[in-house]
Structure 1
Amino acid sequence: MPANRSSGRDVFMYLASVPTVSIGGGFTNPTLTKMAFLDSLDVLITHDSPLRVYRINDGRIQIQRTQDSLLPGEYEVESDGYLAVTDAPYYQRSSSAMSSLSSSDRDRRCVITGLAMTQRELVLQRWTKYEAAHTFPVALESIFQNYNFAELTVLDERDGSVNSPQNGLLLQRLNTIFCFLDDSLGLAGRQLDPVCRDPGQPHHVNDNVLFWHFQQAVLANMRAAGEPIFDEDIPPGSDTMNAILSGPVPGERMEFELSKRLGDVMRAQGSFSIK
């Protein structure tokens, strides 16, 4: 992720009501289909009538809801009703992963790449190549309650908290950053192994929590110039410790900083539970 989230963008978005001011943008990649782009605009823009989106390069071509890849360029959004960029809050987050989440037993393979655990790994419960990552971060547990997600992740007496298996996914270690550190559009949730999303499976991953993650990724990366990144948003000469300890959720940034600085050492000792 670049220091400036808007650096290198090749997709730029405008409201038809103010066509000279960009409201944000993004990056084209194989997962950014026209359908995914339109879904992200439904998060980014508050509207009371259906949106119409046009690519204004080389003519004004309306974008249809297909799986075709989105092309770089400038896009204009219009509607017959109310139209404005959302003021929904973005919660800056740290990465969290715990090998103890029972989603590990449910998924038994990386839900993105499909790499399955060996029988020996399953028997010995060795998770060295995997992490059970939280979809909704541990550091935001109070907000988890505010969204009533606790009620949505209850299947038996063990659940109902941010550590519910319905809030966890098994991932290869190399994929955790792809899926759960506000990737370019948070689209990884659309590519999950069907087993972990099957409502008929015990402790299936909760779609409401996944959609929350998708919304947060859109707000972080597509709105305006994007949200600040931890390493880059402390001005020179500032009180670094005070900046680390401040924020909407006390301790969240400290978790991130400790993870970044000490994570490799503590993981090597087998005593660290967050990524």
Structure 2
Amino acid sequence: MGIYSRSEDRDAHIYASETLETLLGGLWIAKGITSANLYSMMDIFCSFSKTFELQLHGGSLIKRDDSQLQPGCYFVVTDGYVTVTDEVPLLRAILPKSPKPIKPFRNAIRQRDQGCVLSGRRALMKGSWTGFDAAHIFPLAYEGYWNDCGFSDLITAPPATKSDSAINSPQNGILLSASEHHFFAAYDVSINPDDNYKVVCFSPNTVPYGLAGRHLERKFLDDPLRPPDELLRWHFRQAVLVNMKGDGEPFFDIFSES
């Protein structure tokens, strides 16, 4: 199993002050990541004692607007102090292989989504789902954490089989193409429900798939059985912590032979 640093591909680096001595984090800037997005993501992996602004090193203060974020070194401007959260994300790849999705979960998601939620690519052959996976948003391997945190309370559509846990409700899943499923599980891509359900990419490996900056389709969002925003928000928070906090979490390539 190969282990790689997520920080190697970053083209934006964020520091605690103008001296650029204390690294807070950073990211690879995908299409659609705005200045306002950077501010909101900073609030996920940092805590501030007072209001703050960001400034491009050698440049001006960054407005909280929808302009495309530019590469460079950024630093915090504040009269208070900033600390990096000690919150640890729930990584998937380092766990034993998760159980396969149960059949009712898979079938319900296929029927609801009809194609890849991230890319919009449809399953064109009726009854054939080759290349599409029913993916859990909150991973099955962490069912104990799911129960401890009361995530079952978010579910309004229980699993078809009463004996199945609420973690197997179709509301905790989306249909994804196989490649998109790998990206989603590794937190290389996520959905920001607080920015009009925008698809946010954190890895240049996603570029050929044209996902960055897309928005989820209205038909999916209007479905009463779709995933609740709280679960999408949980996944997005994990993606920010994994990719942006400090040097980023290591990427475990479970398909590597070395």
For Structure 1 versus Structure 2, the TM-score category normalised by the shorter chain is 0.7 to 0.9
- Structure 1 residues 127 and 9 mapped into 2: Cα distance closer, same or farther (>3 Å)? same
Q: CA deviation at 1:154?
A: 2.9
- Structure 1 residues 144 and 10 mapped into 2: Cα distance closer, same or farther (>3 Å)? same
Q: CA deviation at 1:10?
A: 1.2
Aligned-partner residue type, residue 26 of structure 1 = L
Is 1:177 the equivalent of 2:201?
Answer: no
Among 166, 173, 195, which residue is 1:168 paired with? 173
> 2: distance between equivalents of 1:137 and 1:62?
36
Aligned-partner residue type, residue 218 of structure 2 = P
Structure with a larger share of its residues in strand: 2
Is 1:186 the equivalent of 2:187?
Answer: no
The answer on whether the counterparts of 1:55 and 1:63 sit within 8 Å (CA) in structure 2 is: no
> 2: distance between equivalents of 1:152 and 1:60?
43
Q: CA deviation at 1:197?
A: 3.0
The answer on whether the counterparts of 1:197 and 1:206 sit within 8 Å (CA) in structure 2 is: no
Aligned counterpart, 2:204: none
TM norm structure 2: 0.76
- Structure 1 residues 17 and 163 mapped into 2: Cα distance closer, same or farther (>3 Å)? farther
> 1: distance between equivalents of 2:231 and 2:242?
17
Aligned counterpart, 2:84: 85
Q: CA deviation at 1:156?
A: 4.2
Query: Bigger radius of gyration, 1 or 2?
Result: 1
Aligned-partner residue type, residue 72 of structure 1 = P
- Structure 1 residues 173 and 79 mapped into 2: Cα distance closer, same or farther (>3 Å)? same
Count of residues in Structure 1 that have an aligned counterpart in Structure 2:
225
Aligned counterpart, 1:127: 129
> 2: distance between equivalents of 1:172 and 1:108?
11
- Structure 1 residues 117 and 203 mapped into 2: Cα distance closer, same or farther (>3 Å)? same
Backbone CA RMSD of aligned residues: 2.8
- Structure 1 residues 108 and 219 mapped into 2: Cα distance closer, same or farther (>3 Å)? same
- Structure 1 residues 195 and 48 mapped into 2: Cα distance closer, same or farther (>3 Å)? farther
| Deviations, residues 12-60 of structure 1 (Å, cap 9, x unaligned) | 1012397421111111221322232222111111235443222123x23
Aligned-partner residue type, residue 77 of structure 1 = V
Look up the SS of the partner of 1:144 in the other structure: helix
Q: CA deviation at 1:150?
A: 0.9
Higher mean C-alpha deviation, range 89-98 or range 164-173 = 89-98
Aligned-partner residue type, residue 90 of structure 2 = Y
Q: CA deviation at 1:143?
A: 1.0
Q: CA deviation at 1:214?
A: 0.9
Aligned-partner residue type, residue 242 of structure 2 = A
> 1: distance between equivalents of 2:191 and 2:157?
26
Q: CA deviation at 1:81?
A: 4.6
Aligned counterpart, 1:8: 9
- Structure 1 residues 192 and 51 mapped into 2: Cα distance closer, same or farther (>3 Å)? farther
- Structure 2 portions without partners, runs of 5+: 199-214
- Structure 1 portions without partners, runs of 5+: 232-256, 262-275
> 2: distance between equivalents of 1:168 and 1:220?
21
Aligned counterpart, 2:226: 204
Is 1:222 the equivalent of 2:240?
Answer: no
Look up the SS of the partner of 2:7 in the other structure: coil
- Structure 1 residues 219 and 129 mapped into 2: Cα distance closer, same or farther (>3 Å)? same
- Structure 1 residues 93 and 105 mapped into 2: Cα distance closer, same or farther (>3 Å)? same
Is 1:20 the equivalent of 2:18?
Answer: no
Look up the SS of the partner of 2:21 in the other structure: strand
Aligned-partner residue type, residue 90 of structure 1 = P
Q: CA deviation at 1:64?
A: 2.0
Look up the SS of the partner of 2:236 in the other structure: helix
The alignment-based identity, stated in percent, is 31
The answer on whether the counterparts of 2:13 and 2:25 sit within 8 Å (CA) in structure 1 is: yes
> 2: distance between equivalents of 1:104 and 1:35?
34
Structure with a larger share of its residues in helix: 1
TM norm structure 1: 0.72
Is 1:109 the equivalent of 2:115?
Answer: yes
Look up the SS of the partner of 1:36 in the other structure: helix
> 1: distance between equivalents of 2:73 and 2:45?
16
